[in-house]
Amino acid sequence: MLDYERFTERAQDAVARAHEFQRYYGHPQLDTAHLLLALLKQTASTIPAILDTMAVDRPAIRRKVTRLLADTPKSQISAAPVDQERFDISPQTRRLIEIAEEETSRLGDDLIDQEHLFLGIASEHRTEIASILADAGITYDTIRSAIEQMRETPPPRREHVIRQVAFAGPLGTLRGMFHVPQASAPADNEPVSAVMLLHGFTGNHIEDQRLFVQAADALVYAGFAVLRFDFFGSGDSDGTFDQFTIQTEVNDATAAIDWLGAQPAIDPDSIGVIGLSLGGGVASLLAGQDPRVKAVVLWNAVGLPAHHPLLIKADNRIGGLLVGPDFTPTLHAQDITGALRRYNGPGLVIQATDDETISLDEAQALADALGSRGEMHTIGGADHTFRHPDWRRDLFDITTRWLVAHLAPAGQ
């Protein structure tokens, strides 16, 4: 029986996935190969970054581990669900977890995480998994060195040009920041894909605790240009807060994509949109009506507006801001899931499990509307604006990897 209180959410997810592989292959015990395959396949994972520092062929390792599991003799097991806390684990896996706990202490961490489990796996000797890793040049020492280097080195930043921009919206001037990867700044270079960031209710182009600034850095590093701007009535843009509705924001987003697609550095046929909270609802509505949106990413997005709680006081204010009389009826009249069903492109839904504003039901409704064109991920323990470095690391990693796959920058 495992004490899950000693594991991070991501490590718990890795063990749960490993158990799924154990049952899929019909093996009597959860072994290190199941856990290694789970770590290699996790989307929100530090393991790919660790392996990338070693320049190893990750798909080749996955194939070898998968082949090893497929060749391991099966056993007769019940098809009934198994209590996750009581499934049998091999002696090697028990030792692996003991080593992972020791590594957690050595690295000064509080809970067992993915990298600690990986170190435990790499501590094996004279096993087929050890041979697979050794053949790829992966050892305990190389993993430990990569982890220490990642912790000592600030996240890489790609050189890029950032400039303040202003462009015409339907109701007034809209203002924001435009990030372009340095290699794509000259007008005669090959244009790149672009991503537009749409902020939430009472938010702005920076967002809570610089969420959008950090997101732009991650996206630029992945090769994308980024436009983050303030809707009419918010931030530095024209207008007052009581003048906007969700429909004016959709119109603003249309103006923004007009401006973005006209920039020489941008490929107008490769534009994606990321929306946070109410901005996610705007992104969905935009995608449903504008074919220029080639990929849509929804972070804790409004999906069921008619049922959505709003913290608007009886005197039509939220904090120090007055809300216009048309805001709530206009919001409740929107069919956001219907817009996503009309949208023909790929979509990614990311939902924080402890979001105090948006429910998992809303996220699931958005994912259901996307159907086979969509993917949904949850970030365990995260709040509405992902106010923890680990949550943001997972958020940006899932988002950028998905966008690279579905909205690949030019030349990649």
Determine the topology of domain 4-152 in CATH: Double Clp-N motif (1.10.1780)
Given this model, what pLDDT does residue 108 score? 84
Q: What is the DSSP string of 109-149?
A: -SSB-HHHHHHHHHT--SSHHHHHHHHTT--HHHHHHHHHH
Q: To which H or E segment does residue 61 belong?
A: helix 58-71
Q: Which residues of the chain have pLDDT under 50?
A: 76-86, 184-188, 409-412
Given this model, what pLDDT does residue 351 score? 96
How much is the pTM?
0.66
Would strands 293-299 and 266-276 be described as parallel, antiparallel, or unpaired? parallel
**All structural domains of the chain with their residue ranges:** 4-152, 160-406
Given this model, what pLDDT does residue 153 score? 58
Q: How far is CA 359 from the centre of its chain?
A: 17
Given this model, what pLDDT does residue 85 score? 45
Given this model, what pLDDT does residue 55 score? 81
According to DSSP, residue 230 is labeled P
Amino acid at residue number 90: S
Tell me which CATH code domain 160-406 carries.
3.40.50.1820
